[in-house]
C-alpha cells in the first residue's frame, strides 16, 4: 500500500512538470516584458534592464524554466513581476477562501447528489426517478455564476441572512465564515450535485442488473441488506471516479463564482495574473491547481483500492 | 503426409504476447510454443483443447492476425513469414475464416449485402449488377434468401448470421478455411445445421482447420485431430485414434470427460478425477500437463520429443507405460 | 426503441427551443431596428407590452438583446465545437489506432494537461491568444479538444479489439479501409453525442467568460455580458438576471436533452415501468389448486411467465408448464434456447423483474417446516427464498466482486440463522464439501481470483449454505471447460446422492442430462411437450421434437458421421403457430397437427403432447456400441 502511494506521488512529478512547462512556454509566446509590468511604460531603458536582470528574464526561456523548476521543487515560486511580493505569500493569502469554497461545494455535491442519485437509481423507471432525473438535468444546465447571481439577488439581498459579497476567514469568526461561504458553495456545488446524481443513478441502476444481485436476492437477504452490501458497495466504485472529475471541475468553476460573490480566492488571483501576464503567479496557481487535483485523485485512488479488491495492490 | 504435399504446413510455430510499457516490454505470455501441424488437400484437421490452450491463437497465426515469434507457416507453397504484413491480396484470398460469434465478427453497422460483397470488391472486378448477382448466389448457396440483403446482423437469428459469415468466407474461393469454434455459440440443433452446410460448401480440395473444444463434434467432422494443452500440441493423429484410443494422459482425461447423451448410468464420475494442485507449476521448458498428470516424474521437467506411433505423434515420456484404456486411469 | 409519450413531448419541446434559438440567431441583425432607440427613461423598466422582458439600465430592450445574444452564443459554441472536433477527433483516432508506445506517450501528455482545471487552462490560453469572442472560443475549443481526443482514443481502442476488425482483415481490408470503413462508422455516434455535450458546455462557458470580461466586449449583446450588467444592479432590479440566465439554461438544457436522445438511439434507453429483480413479481393465482403429489419438494401447476415484447405488448415465454420435483430427485429441463427453460427457472426461484408477470394455479414448495404456497406471498416477502437456491451459468459474475468467498458464505449462514461463532468453521466445511482442498486460503480470496470451476464450486457451496429444499441449476457447466465440467457434474451427482437434494437442472446438453438427471421435461416454444424418466425420454422418445434433439447431438463414437440436423428455428414468443407449435418443423406433421393443440397427457410418470405418437416410430439416443 505504501509503495503504491509512493509510486503515485512520484508519478505526479512529471505531470506537474509537463503542465507547468506547457503554461510557461505558452505564456512566453505572448511576449510580455516583466520590466514594463513592474515599472509601467515610462521608465528608462536602464531601469528596465535592471529589473530584467533582477528577475532573471534576460536569460533564454529554457534556462528560466529550469531555474523556476528547481526553485519550485523547494516550494519557492519566486517574486511576482507586478509587485515585489513573494508569490508564495500571495497564494497563501488566497488559499483559505478557495479551499473553503471548494470544500463547501464538494459537500453540497455529495450531500445533495448522492441521496438523490441513489433514490432514483433504485427506482429507475418510476415517476420519482423521472422527477429527479429531470431536476438533475436542469441543475446540470444551470451555469454556476447565474445560480450565484440569483442566490445573491433573491436570497442574500432580500433576507439579509447571508452576505451577498465578501469572504470572512474561519479564524476571524466561524459563524461569519460559514455564512459567507454557504451561498457560493451552493452556487458552485449545484451542477456538480446534478452531475453526481445522474451518474449515481446510472451506476446504481447498472449494478441492480448484475447477476450477483440476483444471487443475493435468491439467498433471501433483505432489501436493505442487498442495497447496502451489494448495490451501493459496487456502485460506489464508478461514483468515486465521477467525484474525482467533479472536484477538478469545481476548482475551475470556483474561479467564476469567486467573481460573483467577490471572494478573494485563487481564482481571482489567477484571473488578474493572467490578464497582467504575471508569469510567476500564473505558474504558481497552475502548480497548486494541478497538485490539488492530483492529491484528490490520489486520495480517490486509495479509496478505490479500498472499495474494489480487483484493483487492490497485493 | 509430408510437409511438401500439405496445403498448410506449420513448423515450430511460436507466438508470444507482450504487453508494452513506455520504456519497452513489460510482461510476456507464450500462447503457442513450437507447434507442428499439417493439413492436406481435401482434409479437415481438428484442433482441440480447453480455454487457454492456444488453439485460437494458432488459428489466428495462420490468418496472419498475430505476429509469430519463431517458426514457419506455409500455405499452398507460400511462406507466410516472407510475404510481409499485412498479407498481400493473393494470400488473403487463399485463407478465410469463420469465427465463433458472428455478431462480434461481422461489422454491426453493415448490411448483409455489404458484408458478403466486401471480399468480392477487394479481390475481384465484379461491380454493380454482376456483384449483386454473385452475392445473391452466395446467399442461396448457404441457404439464405435474397430478402435478407438489406438486413443488419442484429436483425438475423444466430444461425442466419453464421450463414452470412460462411458466405463471406466462401466468396473468394479460399483454399484454406479456418473454422474457429464456428458452431460453439449455437444451439445444438442450429450447430448441426451449420456443420451440415459447411460439409456441403467447404472447398472440396482445400484444407479446413476445425478449432473446437467439443471432442464429439470434432470426431464427427475431422480426418485428423491435434490436441493442445497450454500452448503445446501434445498429440496429433487420426480422429479415431485421438478420440477413440487416446495415448497422451491429457487427451485421455479430455476424452474421458466428454459426457455421453445416452443415460447409461455409468457416469464419468471417477473417470475424470485428475486433481489439480493449485500450487503446482509446470517447469518452464517441461511438459505443461505434468502438474495434473498421474504419471508425472522427473523426466517431465523437459518437454519430450515426438514419439511416432504409426499415423500418430505423441509427446509424452510415458507413452510406452500409459495404459490404452482411459477408464482405467488410476485416481 | 420507442420513447414514452412524455419523453417524446420533452424531446419535441427541446427541438423547438433549439430551432427557436437558431432562428433568433439568424434573424438578430434585423431585430430591434424598428423599435424606438433606447432611452434612459426606460432604464430598468419592468416587463410590459413595450418591453416584454423589461429594459436594462441603459433602457435597451432585454428581449432584443437576448435575441442578439443568441447569435453570439451559437457562433461561439460552433467555433469551440469545431475546434474541439477538428483537432481532438483526428488526434484521438490517430493515437488510438496506432496504439502501443505512441498511445502511451500521447496519453501521458494529455493526462498532464488535463490535470489543470479546464477553466484555468482556457484562461491561460486566452492570456496568450488575447481576449475577444473568437480567440477565447479558440482557447475553449483547444481545451475541449483534449477531452474529445481522449474519448475518441478510448472508443477506437475498444473498437479495435472487436472481432469484426479481425474479420475485415481476414477478407483483405487494408489499414485505411479499416479505419474509415469499419472503425470510424462504429465510433461516430458516440463522438457525435460527445460533440453535442461540448456544444452545450461551450454556450455556458462563453457566457461565463464574457461575464468575467474575457469574452465578448460590451456593448455587444451576449448573455454573459447581460448577466454582468445585471450583477451591477442586482440590488435594485434583481429580475435583470433572470432572462439571460434562463436563455442559457433553456438552450443548454435543450441541447443536452437532444444529446441524451441521440445517445439513447445509440445505446438504447431503459423503458419506463421496468423494475429490477429487487422488486420481485407477484404470482397471480387461480384458486383451484390440485393436491401435491406425495413426496414432492416442488409442485408447479400451470405456470405462465410473460415478458414485455419488443413492441411493448406482453408475450408469453412459458405457457402452462406443469411439473413437480420429488424429494432427492433431479429433474432436467431441456430444449433449444428460446423455449422458455430459463424463464421457468427464474420464475420458480422468484427472480423475475417487472414488468414480467407470472400466473399459476399453484406454485408450492415443501420444506422441512411445511408447505409454502408461493403464489400467496407478497413478492417482497423474502422468508421462503433461502429454500430455493440457484446456480447460474456464469459463476464469476454471480458472485459479488467486492466480497471475499468467506464473506459470501458467512453472510448466507447468518441469513439461515447459524450462530456467529460457528459460521467460520461452517463455511470451511462447506468448501470441503464441494471438494476444495485448501479451504482456508480460498475463503480469503475474491471472486476475480477464482478459476471458473472454482467459482462454480463456491456458488454450489453458497447454495448448500442455504440448506435449500430445491436447487435450480441453470446451465451450471455450460461456460466451463470439459474437464472442469466433468468435475462439477461429478460433484453435483455426489451431492444429490449424499444430501438428497431436489434439483431442477436447466440445460441444452443431453450429455449433462444423461450424467445427472433422474427425470426429464422437454420444452418447446414455452410448453412442456414430453416428460418421463431420463432413460425413457432420451432412449425411446415419444415426441418428434425429443427425437430430433437426440439426433442432433454429436457423439464420440467411430463411424457415426455428421448428425442429422433439425431444420428451422424455434418460433419467437408472440409468434407461436396455432395447433402443435412444433408442426412446422416436424417431419411427421400431418394436417391435423396444424389444427389442434395437443395436450400433455400420459400415465405412470410418462407424458407427451403429440397426436401422432402411436403411429410413428421414433428413435432416441442408442447405447454406446463400444
Helix (H/G/I), strand (E/B), else coil: B14: strand
Distance between the two ends of chain B, CA-based, in angstroms? 37
Confidence tier at A286 by pLDDT (50, 70, 90): confident
- Rounded CA separation C3/C271 (Å): 7
CA distances in angstroms from A269 to A286, C236, C502, listed in the order given: 11, 29, 73
Q: How many domains does chain A have?
A: 1
Confidence tier at C79 by pLDDT (50, 70, 90): very high
Q: Is the pLDDT of residue A71 over 70?
A: yes
> What is the largest distance, in Å, between two alpha-carbon atoms of chain B?
68
Q: Do B253 and C100 touch (CB under 8 A)?
A: no
Confidence tier at B133 by pLDDT (50, 70, 90): very high
The answer to whether the CB of C387 falls within 8 A of the CB of C349 is no
Q: What pLDDT sits at residue B271? A: 45
Sign, CA torsion C375/C377/C378/C382: negative
Q: Does B260 touch chain C if contact means CB atoms closer than 8 Å?
A: yes
Q: What pLDDT sits at residue B23? A: 62
- Based on its alpha-carbon atoms, the radius of gyration of chain A, rounded to whole angstroms, reads 24
Q: What pLDDT sits at residue A75? A: 80
Query: Which C positions 482-511 lie with beta carbon below 8 A of chain B?
Result: 482-487, 489-490, 493-494, 508-511
Edge-first strand order for the sheet with B78-79 is B24-40, B6-21, B70-75, B78-79
Whose grid coordinates read 451501493? A232
Choose which CATH entry (3.40.50.12240, 3.40.920.10, 1.20.1440.120, 1.10.3720.10) describes domain C3-28+57-273.
1.10.3720.10
Q: Do B99 and C486 touch (CB under 8 A)?
A: no
Tell me the average pLDDT across B90-113: 91
Sign, CA torsion B183/B185/B188/B194: negative
The verdict on residue A13 lying in a domain is: no
**Helix axis angle, C118-129 to A2-29, nearest 10°:** 20
Kind and range of the H or E element at A257? helix A233-261
Q: Is the pLDDT of residue B272 over 50?
A: no
**Tens of pLDDT along C396-437?**
899 999 999 999 999 999 998 999 999 999 999 999 999 998
Delineate the domains of chain B, giving CATH numbers in brackets. 8-244 (3.40.50.300), 246-331 (no CATH)
HEC string of C590-603 equals: CHHHHHCCCCCEEE
Alpha helical stretches, state H, C115-271? 118-129, 133-160, 163-170, 175-177, 184-211, 223-232, 242-267
The answer to whether the CB of C389 falls within 8 A of the CB of C466 is yes
Q: Is the pLDDT of residue C147 over 70?
A: yes
HEC string of C468-497 equals: CCEEEEECCCCCCCHHHHHHHHHHHHHHHH
Q: What pLDDT sits at residue B329? A: 37
The nearest alpha carbon in chain C to B266 belongs to C515
Q: Is the pLDDT of residue A56 over 80?
A: no
Strands B176-180 and B70-75: unpaired
What are the boundaries of each domain within chain C? Answer: 3-28+57-273, 533-626
Q: Is the pLDDT of residue B3 over 70?
A: no
**Tens of pLDDT along A120-130?**
999 887 888 88
Mean pLDDT of chain C: 87
Cβ neighbours of residue C141 under 8 Å, at least 6 residues apart?
C79, C80, C81, C82, C83, C84, C87, C202
The verdict on residue A76 lying in a domain is: no
What single string gives the DSSP state of each residue in C212-228?
Answer: TTSSSPTTS--HHHHHH
The nearest alpha carbon in chain B to C450 belongs to B278
The nearest alpha carbon in chain A to C467 belongs to A219
Which region among B218-232, C137-151, C364-378 has the lowest average model confidence (pLDDT)?
A: C364-378
Q: Do C556 and B188 touch (CB under 8 A)?
A: no
The verdict on residue A30 lying in a domain is: no
**Tens of pLDDT along C269-291?**
555 567 788 888 888 877 666 66
| Number of Cβ atoms within 10 Å of the Cβ of B80 | 22
Q: Do B20 and C513 touch (CB under 8 A)?
A: no
**Tens of pLDDT along C40-54?**
677 777 787 777 777
Q: Is the pLDDT of residue A314 over 50?
A: no
Confidence tier at A108 by pLDDT (50, 70, 90): very high
Tell me the average pLDDT across B95-113: 92
The verdict on residue A114 lying in a domain is: yes
Q: Is the pLDDT of residue C390 over 80?
A: yes
DSSP label at residue B152? B
A92 sits in the region (left: phi over 0; alpha: psi -120 to 50; else beta) called alpha
Which region among A1-10, A182-191, B221-230, C580-589 has the lowest average model confidence (pLDDT)?
A: A1-10
The nearest alpha carbon in chain B to C566 belongs to B189
Break chain B down into helix, strand, coil percent, rounded to 5. Answer: 30, 25, 45
Whose grid coordinates read 438504447? C268
Q: Which chains touch B (3 or more CB pairs under 8 A)?
A: C
Give me the percent of chain C exceeding a pLDDT of 90. 45
The answer to whether the CB of C93 falls within 8 A of the CB of A255 is no
Tell me the average pLDDT across B83-104: 88
Which CATH number belongs to the domain containing residue A218 in this structure? 1.10.3720.10
Q: Which domain holds residue A152?
A: 94-313
Q: Do C116 and A153 touch (CB under 8 A)?
A: no
Kind and range of the H or E element at C354? none
Which region among A301-310, B124-133, C68-77 has the lowest average model confidence (pLDDT)?
A: A301-310
Q: Does C19 touch chain A if contact means CB atoms closer than 8 Å?
A: no
- Rounded CA separation B16/B168 (Å): 30
Which of C271, C380, C402 is closest, CB to CB, to A308? C402
Q: Is the pLDDT of residue A302 over 80?
A: yes
**Tens of pLDDT along C161-190?**
888 999 999 999 988 888 888 888 888 888
Tell me the average pLDDT across A131-151: 91
The verdict on residue A231 lying in a domain is: yes
List phi, psi (to 5°) of A171.
-75, -25
More confident residue, B213 or A271: B213
Q: pTM value? A: 0.87
The shortest C-alpha distance from C413 to chain B (Å) reads 27
The answer to whether the CB of C50 falls within 8 A of the CB of C35 is no
Chains A and B touch (3+ CB pairs under 8 A): no
- Rounded CA separation C507/C473 (Å): 8
The shortest C-alpha distance from A251 to chain C (Å) reads 7
Q: Do C164 and B258 touch (CB under 8 A)?
A: no
Tell me the average pLDDT across B5-25: 83
Confidence tier at A310 by pLDDT (50, 70, 90): confident
Q: What pLDDT sits at residue B270? A: 45
The nearest alpha carbon in chain C to B102 belongs to C164
- B13: which strand partners? B35
Amino acid at each position: 500500500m505504501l509503495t503504491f502511494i509512493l509510486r503515485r506521488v512520484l508519478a505526479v512529478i512529471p505531470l506537474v512538470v509537463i503542465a507547468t512547462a506547457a503554461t510557461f512556454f505558452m505564456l512566453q509566446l505572448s511576449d510580455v516584458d516583466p520590466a514594463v509590468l513592474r515599472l509601467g511604460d515610462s521608465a528608462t531603458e536602464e531601469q528596465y534592464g535592471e529589473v530584467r536582470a533582477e528577475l532573471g528574464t534576460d536569460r533564454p526561456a529554457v534556462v528560466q524554466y529550469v531555474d523556476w523548476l528547481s526553485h519550485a521543487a523547494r516550494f519557492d515560486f519566486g517574486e511576482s513581476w507586478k509587485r515585489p511580493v513573494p508569490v508564495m505569500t500571495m497564494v497563501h493569502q488566497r488559499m483559505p477562501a478557495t479551499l473553503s469554497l471548494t470544500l463547501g461545494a464538494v459537500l453540497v455535491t455529495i450531500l445533495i447528489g448522492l441521496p438523490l442519485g441513489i433514490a432514483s437509481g433504485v427506482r429507475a423507471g418510476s415517476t420519482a426517478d423521472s422527477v429527479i432525473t429531470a431536476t438533475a438535468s436542469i441543475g446540470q444546465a444551470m451555469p454556476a455564476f447565474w445560480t450565484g447571481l440569483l442566490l445573491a439577488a433573491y436570497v442574500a439581498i432580500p433576507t439579509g441572512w447571508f452576505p451577498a459579497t465578501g469572504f470572512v476567514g474561519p479564524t476571524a469568526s466561524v459563524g461569519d465564515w460559514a455564512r459567507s461561504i454557504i451561498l457560493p458553495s451552493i452556487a458552485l456545488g449545484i451542477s456538480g450535485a446534478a452531475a453526481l446524481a445522474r451518474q449515481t443513478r446510472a451506476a446504481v441502476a447498472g449494478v441492480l442488473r448484475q447477476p450477483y444481485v440476483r444471487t443475493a436476492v435468491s439467498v433471501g437477504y433483505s432489501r436493505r441488506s442487498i442495497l447496502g452490501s451489494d448495490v451501493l458497495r459496487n456502485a460506489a466504485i464508478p461514483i468515486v471516479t465521477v467525484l474525482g472529475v467533479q472536484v477538478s471541475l469545481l476548482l475551475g468553476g470556483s474561479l467564476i463564482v469567486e467573481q460573483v460573490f467577490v471572494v478573494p480566492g485563487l481564482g481571482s488571483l489567477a484571473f488578474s495574473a493572467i490578464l497582467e501576464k504575471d508569469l510567476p503567479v500564473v505558474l504558481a496557481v497552475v502548480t497548486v491547481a494541478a497538485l490539488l487535483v492530483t492529491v484528490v485523485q490520489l486520495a480517490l485512488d486509495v479509496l478505490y483500492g479500498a472499495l474494489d479488491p480487483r484493483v487492490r495492490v497485493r | 503426409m509430408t510437409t511438401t504435399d500439405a496445403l498448410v504446413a506449420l513448423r515450430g510455430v511460436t507466438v508470444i504476447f507482450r504487453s508494452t510499457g513506455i520504456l519497452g516490454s513489460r510482461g510476456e505470455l507464450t500462447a503457442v510454443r513450437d507447434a507442428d501441424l499439417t493439413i492436406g488437400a481435401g482434409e479437415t484437421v481438428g484442433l482441440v483443447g480447453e480455454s487457454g490452450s492456444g488453439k485460437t491463437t494458432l488459428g489466428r497465426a495462420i490468418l496472419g492476425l498475430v505476429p509469430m515469434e519463431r517458426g514457419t507457416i506455409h500455405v499452398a507453397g507460400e511462406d507466410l513469414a516472407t510475404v510481409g504484413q499485412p498479407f498481400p491480396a493473393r494470400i488473403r484470398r487463399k485463407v478465410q475464416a469463420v469465427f465463433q460469434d458472428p455478431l462480434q465478427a461481422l461489422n454491426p453497422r453493415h448490411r448483409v449485402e455489404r458484408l458478403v460483397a466486401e471480399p468480392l470488391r477487394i479481390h475481384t472486378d465484379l461491380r454493380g449488377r454482376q456483384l449483386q448477382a454473385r452475392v445473391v448466389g452466395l446467399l442461396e448457396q448457404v441457404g439464405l434468401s435474397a430478402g435478407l440483403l438489406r438486413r443488419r446482423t442484429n436483425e438475423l437469428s444466430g444461425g442466419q448470421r453464421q450463414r452470412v459469415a460462411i458466405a463471406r468466407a466462401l466468396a473468394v474461393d479460399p483454399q484454406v478455411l479456418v473454422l474457429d469454434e464456428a458452431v460453439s455459440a449455437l444451439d445444438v440443433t442450429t450447430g448441426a445445421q451449420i456443420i451440415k452446410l459447411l460439409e456441403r460448401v467447404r472447398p472440396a480440395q482445400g484444407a479446413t482447420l476445425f478449432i473446437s473444444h467439443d471432442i464429439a463434434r470434432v470426431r464427427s467432422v475431422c480426418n485428423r485431430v491435434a490436441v493442445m494443452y497450454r500452448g503445446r500440441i501434445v498429440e496429433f493423429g487420426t480422429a479415431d485414434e485421438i478420440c477413440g484410443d487416446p495415448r497422451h494422459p491429457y487427451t485421455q482425461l479430455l476424452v474421458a470427460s466428454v459426457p455421453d447423451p445416452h443415460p447409461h448410468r455409468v457416469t464419468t464420475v471417477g473417470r475424470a478425477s485428475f486433481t489439480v494442485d493449485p500450487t503446482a507449476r509446470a517447469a518452464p521448458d517441461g511438459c505443461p500437463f505434468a502438474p495434473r498428470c498421474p504419471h508425472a516424474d522427473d523426466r517431465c521437467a523437459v518437454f519430450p520429443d515426438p514419439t511416432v506411433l504409426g499415423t500418430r505423434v505423441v509427446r509424452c515420456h510415458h507413452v510406452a507405460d500409459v495404459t490404452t484404456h482411459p477408464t482405467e486411469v488410476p485416481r | 426503441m420507442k420513447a414514452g409519450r412524455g419523453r417524446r413531448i420533452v424531446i419535441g419541446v427541446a427541438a423547438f427551443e433549439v430551432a427557436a434559438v437558431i432562428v433568433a440567431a439568424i434573424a438578430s441583425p434585423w431585430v430591434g431596428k424598428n423599435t424606438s432607440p433606447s432611452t434612459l427613461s426606460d432604464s430598468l423598466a419592468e416587463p410590459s407590452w413595450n418591453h416584454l422582458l423589461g429594459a436594462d439600465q441603459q433602457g435597451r430592450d432585454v428581449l432584443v438583446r437576448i435575441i442578439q445574444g443568441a447569435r453570439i452564443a451559437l457562433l461561439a459554441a460552433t467555433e469551440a465545437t469545431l475546434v474541439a472536433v477538428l483537432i481532438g477527433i483526428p488526434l484521438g483516432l490517430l493515437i488510438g489506432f496506432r496504439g502501443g508506445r505512441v498511445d502511451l506517450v500521447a496519453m501521458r501528455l494529455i493526462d498532464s494537461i488535463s490535470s489543470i482545471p479546464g477553466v484555468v487552462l482556457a484562461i491561460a490560453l486566452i492570456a496568450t491568444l488575447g481576449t475577444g469572442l473568437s480567440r477565447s472560443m479558440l482557447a475553449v475549443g483547444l481545451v475541449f479538444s483534449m477531452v474529445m481526443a481522449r474519448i475518441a482514443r478510448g472508443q477506437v481502442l475498444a473498437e479495435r479489439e472487436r472481432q469484426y476488425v479481425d474479420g475485415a482483415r481476414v477478407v483483405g481490408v487494408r489499414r485505411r479501409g479499416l479505419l474509415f470503413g469499419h472503425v470510424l462508422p462504429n465510433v461516430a455516434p458516440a463522438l457525435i453525442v460527445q460533440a453535442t455535450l461540448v456544444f452545450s458546455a461551450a454556450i455556458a462557458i462563453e457566457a461565463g467568460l464574457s461575464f468575467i470580461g474575457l469574452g465578448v466586449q460590451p456593448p455587444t449583446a451576449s448573455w454573459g455580458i447581460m448577466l454582468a450588467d445585471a450583477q451591477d444592479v442586482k440590488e435594485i432590479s434583481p429580475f435583470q438576471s433572470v432572462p439571460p440566465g434562463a436563455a442559457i439554461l433553456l438552450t443548454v438544457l435543450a441541447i443536452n436533452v437532444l444529446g441524451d436522445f441521440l445517445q439513447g438511439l445509440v445505446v438504447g434507453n431503459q423503458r419506463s415501468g421496468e423494475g429490477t429483480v429487487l422488486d420481485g413479481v407477484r404470482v397471480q393465482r387461480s384458486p383451484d389448486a390440485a393436491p401435491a403429489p406425495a413426496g414432492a419438494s416442488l409442485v408447479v401447476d400451470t405456470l405462465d411467465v410473460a415478458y414485455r415484447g419488443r413492441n411493448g405488448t406482453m408475450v408469453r415465454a412459458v405457457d402452462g408448464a406443469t411439473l413437480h420435483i420429488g424429494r432427492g430427485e433431479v429433474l432436467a429441463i431441456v430444449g433449444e434456447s428460446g423455449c422458455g427453460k430459463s424463464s421457468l427457472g427464474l420464475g420458480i426461484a422468484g427472480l423475475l423483474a417487472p414488468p414480467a408477470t407470472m400466473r399459476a394455479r399453484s406454485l408450492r414448495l415443501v420444506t422441512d417446516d411445511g408447505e409454502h404456497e408461493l403464489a400467496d406471498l407478497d413478492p417482497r416477502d423474502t422468508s421462503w427464498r433461502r429454500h430455493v437456491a440457484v446456480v447460474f451459468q456464469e459463476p464469476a459474475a454471480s458472485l459479488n466482486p467486492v466480497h471475499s468467498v468467506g464473506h459470501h458464505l458467512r453472510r448466507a449462514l447468518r441469513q439461515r440463522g447459524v450462530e456467529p461463532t460457528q459460521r467460520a468453521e461452517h463455511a470451511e466445511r462447506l468448501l470441503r464439501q464441494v471438494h476444495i482442498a485448501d479451504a482456508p486460503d480460498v475463503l480469503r480470496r475474491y471472486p476475480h481470483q477464482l478459476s471458473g470451476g472454482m467459482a462454480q464450486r463456491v456458488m454450489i457451496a453458497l447454495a448448500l449454505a442455504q440448506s435449500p429444499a430445491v436447487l435450480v441449476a441453470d446451465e451450471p457447466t455450460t461456460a466451463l471447460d470439459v474437464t472442469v465440467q466433468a468435475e462439477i457434474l461429478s460433484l453435483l451427482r455426489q451431492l444429490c446422492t449424499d444430501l438428497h437434494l431436489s434439483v431442477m437442472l436447466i440445460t441444452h446438453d443431453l450429455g449433462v442430462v444423461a450424467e445427472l438427471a433422474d427425470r426429464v421435461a422437454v420444452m418447446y416454444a414455452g410448453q412442456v411437450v414430453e416428460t418421463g424418466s431420463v432413460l425413457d425420454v432420451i432412449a425411446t422418445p415419444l415426441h418428434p421434437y425429443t427425437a430430433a434433439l437426440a439426433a442432433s447431438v454429436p457423439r464420440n463414437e467411430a463411424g457415426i458421421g455428421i448428425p442429422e440436423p433439425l431444420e428451422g428455428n424455434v418460433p419467437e414468443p408472440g409468434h407461436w403457430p396455432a395447433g402443435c407449435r412444433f408442426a412446422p418443423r416436424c417431419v411427421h406433421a400431418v394436417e391435423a397437427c396444424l389444427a389442434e393443440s395437443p395436450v400433455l397427457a400420459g400415465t405412470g410418470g410418462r407424458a407427451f403432447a403429440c397426436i401422432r405418437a402411436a403411429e410413428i416410430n421414433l428413435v432416441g439416443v442408442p447405447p454406446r456400441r463400444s
